Chains A and B, each alone.
Chain A
Amino acid sequence: MTGELSSGDSVVCRFGKKPVSGTFITSRDGLAVVKLETGYNIGVPVTALTFVSRPEIVVSPEITVTQDESLPKLSIVSTGGTIASRIDYRTGAVTSQFDAEDILRAIPRLRMIGRYRARKLTTILSENMTPVIWQNLSKAVYEEIQQGAEGVIVTHGTDTMAFSAAAISFMLDTSVPVIFVGSQRSADRPSSDNTMNALCSASVAASELSEVAVVMHGSSNDDYCAIHRGTRVRKMHTSRRDAFRSIGVPPIGSVEYPSLSVRLEQFALRRGSVEPALRNGIEEHCGLLSFYPGMSPSSVEAFSGFAGLVLSGTGLGHISTALIPAIRALIANGTVVVMTSQCLHGRVCDRVYDTGRDLIKAGVIEGEDMLPEVALVKLMWVLGNQEDRQSQELLMRTNLKGEFTGRSVNGF
């Protein structure tokens, strides 16, 4: 019975013509998964197994991580994600389990870039991230900076990394690099991008930058990582290594691999330009609504009572005329409404066509060329830190952390 078997038990498997020995792994879909001596797993009826012995638990020796005291002091704050994940026997799927020290053990070359302090904040898949965890994360990063960290690396699942990077950008004025990093191919595979991404992120964390940024593969090759501003970055592919792209602006720099030399653009903020400060209030009761043709006013009405709503409109920032009364009602009831564009590239302008003018008249704030998700995060942060309606609107119209560009330049 598998009820009595636990992972790692030696078993005899009577399935083919002759019995074979193996290791019980788990039970799944009513079958027992057994690892044969050849390393292959197979699924067999539970009744085919006989218990032989339970192995003694061998504790693998702790490898003490020696660190070079002359190198910059860096902190690794881990939140989980595929940069540090391993297989879950029960589901057979990949889950986040490692902590920051495991990363150091797995990627020894990191020790040649800095000396590290590891801090495990959570171990979640990034789709389970919440605004409350953003708050905890910003606090943790701030504390690390206060305690002398010369750079902070945040390991993060890639799915919502851009949201978190934007959130920390707004919550934290940073005097050191705060670098978000993850991997698109899980760390348990020899081809994972985790090693290169982690090394590049450490190199940026030790660099002259003082911004919140995302450092991930710049191409499908293992040749360089791009450094993206936390408020301009977006995951633009489900699976490619170079999924992260700066939208509407060039990346703020790049890191060559394997040399790890960092190149920063002129407009990237350098160390010493800002004093560290934390302001991490958040209003969670905000929504993001992507408009589509034929959308019912009830979809808008569903946000009634929300503190804020970001619209992801078509083209220059439009929704259908039929929705305008519902928008008007939302605003009248106190919801702050911001317009962005599904185009992602380019600036919202609601003064060109009638529906746009109606929206402005109704009190919708034009979100300039902010990405819809970034506008949402900013709105949550603004509403969480500023009570006065007029100040809220003013902040939404002000470029705080590079989330707007003042000029729409050619080529992006």
Chain B
Amino acid sequence: MDFDALGLKAGIEIHQQLNTREKLFCHCPTILRKFDERTGEIFRYLRATESELGEIDRAAQEEMKHERLFCYYRYDTTCLVECDEEPPASLNPEAIEISNIIARMFSMTPIGQVHTMRKLVIDGSNTSGFQRTALVAIDGVLPNGGSIDTICLEEEAAQRVEGDTFSLDRLGIPLVEITTSPCMHTPEEVLEIARYLGMVLRSTGRVKRGLGTIRQDINISIREGARVEIKGVQDLDLIAEVVRREVLRQKNLLDIMAKLRERGAAVLPEPVDVTGLFEHTESTIMKKASQILAIRLPGFAELVGTEIQPGRRLGSEFSDYARKCGVGGIFHTDELPAYGITSGEVSVLRKTLSAGEDECIILVAANAEKALCAAQQVIFRAATSLRGVPEETRKMLEDGSTAYMRPLPGAARMYPETDVYPVTIDRDWYDLLPIPELLTEKRDRFVREYHLDPTLSSHLVSSERVFLFERAVSIGISPSLAARTLLATLKELSRAGIDTSHISDEDLLGVLHAVEEGRAAKEAVPRILEQMAAGAKIDQALKECAPAVSREELEIVVRRIVKERSSLITERGLGSLGPLMGVVMTEVRGSADGKLVSEVLKQEISRYLKESGAAAR
């Protein structure tokens, strides 16, 4: 696809959780829990409310089409604030600081007085029915010459367990939302900027790491198309593909529009009750429904079944809209007979409605209220296809295609959070915030200053342990030991199924320090960590796995081995060093440093050769 010719414009919204001690509006810890650790459940309804300007947000209205009862899991690490049973505490100062540091890294202008807003979100993911958010800084700079529009500090939403059940542990974890301008013009550029933004965020050392801690939303439009926001792209590798598929979707929708107009297609404004026609149907869905409505779309035949994205047809879009009313989906004549609906039933339907060849008929089956709601949704979406691409918020499906979620929310969803005081940002404070070194700069510096291998250095800076590495080096641990342990050893242990995640940074440093001081051999590090992973205290693990062998003790062991293997030494001279190294190392079981062993071994072999030579003479 020629993205330039299609007029692709894309922007990114990145959501990154901050690794603060407490949540954004309460003093709960920012840790995730297992669902079965919940201490209780609460049940609530949500309803749309007017903004301060007296409007109801269209996205919220869409969610309200059928009333839902939400269930929330609470834990001993959540409080009444997450349950929406207590007003929020003040904005977390630690989160304000981190977000301003990030703003400074992008050369942004901080907002003098930060106002917390309520962003209406009534899909159940917030007990309050809104997500609290505050605009912190504007106008940042990107390396591709593009710009960042805003940085907002937001509370994370509750995690969906399934259906309408949510878990409150995640609700309220601070996150920054960085919104770029629509300054990207190819799928690859979107990927590149997303990577860059992620790198800058990680450079602070104060963001959460791991699956689900960073999410990208992408805004995409092509010429004649419309702005579409795709939510929740977690996998960076899929970003370019998502962009390509959305461009394809918009292009195909525009092609369909052209064909519809050429055919003089229309959407009949009233659905027709055809319940009677399916009285004897074999289709289980139709049988269960108390009302079946037909939506008539002359000129739409074949087009509703046209693929617009891999695995998605125009009919899938209609179906997404209908589902907002609580129905499972729709049927359209482009795909019938199927689903237990026979060709006979289809011809009766066509005949009864006197439908022409080029007419596509959509069927919705549910109770009267839901069926009417779904039919109206389909009529709305079908009518939109005559005008082109609708502005929408969409969600990403597994392979990079997308499904409709709700209309793009407008400004009407924003309402001041009256329970939180605005925070005044002192410009001098902002200007003095330290700007962290970028991970890319760190990578080059490690190669330059510590002579690390460039590949190792790259791995190191992309690891969340890079800051621990720097701490280790700063207390005098050799960079290669620190890098190997924090990168390779821990990874190897985890591959072997050993969970080292609860070993504290302080303990890791303690182990490295012991090696550096000669209290433990570096060969013993994996076993020490393994013991600690199993629950041993650091001193205990050091003592058990690495009673360091003194030089004198080592010399005794080596002399014995040299004596035992004298024939080998006589035969191969200093060439026996290699094979004997292994024998000694096995004997001392990692309690002595390899370098020392090699040194002592060499000394003893030389001595033996010298003495035996002298004897021979």
Where the two chains meet, the residues of A that have a C-beta atom closer than 8 Å to any C-beta of B are 15-18, 20, 28-29, 31, 33, 35-45, 60, 86-87, 89, 92-94, 185-192, 195-196, 220-223, 238-241, 258
**A residues in contact with B552, CB < 8 Å:** none
Besides the known contacts A31-B112, A44-B112, 8 further A-B residue pairs in the complex with CB atoms under 8 A apart: A41-B414, A43-B112, A43-B113, A87-B418, A190-B47, A190-B48, A190-B128, A191-B128
B83 touches A220 (CB 8 A): yes
| Bound CA span A255–B311, Å | 49
A42 touches B113 (CB 8 A): yes
**Would A42 and B111 be within 8 Å (CB), given that A190-B122, A222-B44 are in contact?**
yes
**B residues in contact with A185, CB < 8 Å:** 84
Q: B17 in the interface, Cβ–Cβ < 8 Å?
A: no
Q: What are 8 pairs between A and B in contact, CB < 8 Å?
A: A16-B139, A38-B150, A39-B413, A189-B118, A189-B129, A191-B127, A191-B128, A239-B86
A240 touches B422 (CB 8 A): no
**B residues in contact with A258, CB < 8 Å:** 45
**Would A241 and B135 be within 8 Å (CB), given that A38-B411, A190-B46, A196-B45 are in contact?**
no
**A residues in contact with B152, CB < 8 Å:** 40
| Bound CA span A196–B113, Å | 36
Q: B415 in the interface, Cβ–Cβ < 8 Å?
A: yes
**A residues in contact with B356, CB < 8 Å:** none
B85 touches A241 (CB 8 A): yes
Proximity string of chain B (70-96) to chain A, C-beta cutoff 8 Å, 1 when within and 0 when not: 000000000010011111000000000
**Would A18 and B69 be within 8 Å (CB), given that A39-B117, A60-B54, A185-B84 are in contact?**
no
**B residues in contact with A239, CB < 8 Å:** 80, 85-87
**Would A36 and B42 be within 8 Å (CB), given that A42-B113, A43-B112, A188-B49 are in contact?**
no
Among candidates B51, B86, B138, residue contacting A16 with C-beta atoms closer than 8 Å: B138
**Would A93 and B418 be within 8 Å (CB), given that A39-B412, A43-B424 are in contact?**
yes
**A residues in contact with B150, CB < 8 Å:** 38, 40
B115 touches A188 (CB 8 A): no
Among candidates A17, A43, A190, residue contacting B130 with C-beta atoms closer than 8 Å: A190
Q: B213 in the interface, Cβ–Cβ < 8 Å?
A: no
| Bound CA span A29–B49, Å | 28
Within the complex, the shortest CB–CB distance from B55 to chain A, in Å, comes to 10
**B residues in contact with A186, CB < 8 Å:** 418
Q: B29 in the interface, Cβ–Cβ < 8 Å?
A: no
**Would A222 and B418 be within 8 Å (CB), given that A35-B411, A43-B114 are in contact?**
no
By Cβ-Cβ distance, the 6 closest A-B pairs, closest first, are: A43-B113, A190-B129, A39-B414, A39-B411, A16-B139, A40-B135
Among candidates B54, B84, B119, B128, residue contacting A39 with C-beta atoms closer than 8 Å: B119
CB-nearest residue of chain B to A18? B139
CB-nearest residue of chain B to A219? B42
**B residues in contact with A92, CB < 8 Å:** 416, 418, 422
Among candidates A16, A31, A87, A221, residue contacting B42 with C-beta atoms closer than 8 Å: A221
**B residues in contact with A238, CB < 8 Å:** 86
Within the complex, the shortest CB–CB distance from A362 to chain B, in Å, comes to 43
Q: B109 in the interface, Cβ–Cβ < 8 Å?
A: yes
B44 touches A221 (CB 8 A): yes
Proximity string of chain B (223-267) to chain A, C-beta cutoff 8 Å, 1 when within and 0 when not: 000000000000000000000000000000000000000000000
CB-nearest residue of chain A to B55? A60
| Bound CA span A16–B150, Å | 10
A191 touches B129 (CB 8 A): yes
**B residues in contact with A28, CB < 8 Å:** 422
| Bound CA span A106–B108, Å | 42
Proximity string of chain B (405-443) to chain A, C-beta cutoff 8 Å, 1 when within and 0 when not: 000001111111010001010000000000000000000
Within the complex, the shortest CB–CB distance from A293 to chain B, in Å, comes to 31
**B residues in contact with A20, CB < 8 Å:** 138
**Would A40 and B46 be within 8 Å (CB), given that A189-B128, A240-B80, A241-B85 are in contact?**
no
B114 touches A42 (CB 8 A): yes
A37 touches B112 (CB 8 A): no
Proximity string of chain B (124-146) to chain A, C-beta cutoff 8 Å, 1 when within and 0 when not: 00011110011100110000000
* Chain B interface residue count, Cβ-Cβ cutoff 8 angstroms: 53
**A residues in contact with B117, CB < 8 Å:** 39-41
**A residues in contact with B69, CB < 8 Å:** 222
| Bound CA span A38–B411, Å | 5
Q: B506 in the interface, Cβ–Cβ < 8 Å?
A: no
Within the complex, the shortest CB–CB distance from A19 to chain B, in Å, comes to 11
**A residues in contact with B410, CB < 8 Å:** 39
| Bound CA span A119–B550, Å | 93
CB-nearest residue of chain A to B141? A17
Within the complex, the shortest CB–CB distance from A351 to chain B, in Å, comes to 42
Within the complex, the shortest CB–CB distance from A243 to chain B, in Å, comes to 9
Q: B52 in the interface, Cβ–Cβ < 8 Å?
A: yes
CB-nearest residue of chain B to A190? B129
> Which residues of chain B from 124 to 183 have any CB-CB distance to chain A below 8 Å in the complex?
127-130, 133-135, 138-139, 150, 152
Q: B43 in the interface, Cβ–Cβ < 8 Å?
A: yes
Within the complex, the shortest CB–CB distance from A43 to chain B, in Å, comes to 2
**A residues in contact with B109, CB < 8 Å:** 15-17
> Which residues of chain B from 1 to 58 have any CB-CB distance to chain A below 8 Å in the complex?
42-52, 54
**A residues in contact with B486, CB < 8 Å:** none
| Bound CA span A189–B109, Å | 31
Within the complex, the shortest CB–CB distance from B433 to chain A, in Å, comes to 18
Scoring B139, B415, B418, B422 by chain A CB atoms within 10 A of each residue's CB, the highest score goes to: B418
CB-nearest residue of chain A to B44? A222
Q: B532 in the interface, Cβ–Cβ < 8 Å?
A: no
B415 touches A188 (CB 8 A): yes
**B residues in contact with A94, CB < 8 Å:** 418
| Bound CA span A192–B413, Å | 16
Q: B120 in the interface, Cβ–Cβ < 8 Å?
A: yes
| Bound CA span A87–B416, Å | 8
| Bound CA span A30–B302, Å | 63
CB-nearest residue of chain A to B412? A39
Among candidates A42, A190, A191, A240, residue contacting B115 with C-beta atoms closer than 8 Å: A42
| Bound CA span A40–B177, Å | 13
| Bound CA span A93–B411, Å | 20
| Bound CA span A187–B418, Å | 12
**Would A41 and B115 be within 8 Å (CB), given that A16-B139, A36-B135, A191-B128 are in contact?**
yes
**B residues in contact with A89, CB < 8 Å:** 52
**A residues in contact with B47, CB < 8 Å:** 190, 195
| Bound CA span A41–B130, Å | 16
CB-nearest residue of chain A to B43? A221
A15 touches B138 (CB 8 A): yes
**Would A40 and B80 be within 8 Å (CB), given that A190-B130, A191-B128, A223-B43 are in contact?**
no
**A residues in contact with B60, CB < 8 Å:** 190
CB-nearest residue of chain A to B83? A220
| Bound CA span A33–B135, Å | 12
**B residues in contact with A29, CB < 8 Å:** 113, 422, 424
CB-nearest residue of chain B to A94? B418
**B residues in contact with A222, CB < 8 Å:** 43-45, 69
Among candidates A43, A60, A191, residue contacting B46 with C-beta atoms closer than 8 Å: A191
CB-nearest residue of chain B to A8? B53
| Bound CA span A37–B135, Å | 12
CB-nearest residue of chain B to A239? B86
Within the complex, the shortest CB–CB distance from B395 to chain A, in Å, comes to 21
| Bound CA span A188–B47, Å | 10
Within the complex, the shortest CB–CB distance from A61 to chain B, in Å, comes to 11
B414 touches A189 (CB 8 A): no
**B residues in contact with A187, CB < 8 Å:** 49
CB-nearest residue of chain B to A107? B47
| Bound CA span A352–B50, Å | 59
**Would A31 and B411 be within 8 Å (CB), given that A93-B418, A220-B83, A221-B44 are in contact?**
no
| Bound CA span A60–B51, Å | 14
| Bound CA span A37–B138, Å | 13
**A residues in contact with B414, CB < 8 Å:** 35, 38-41
| Bound CA span A35–B418, Å | 15
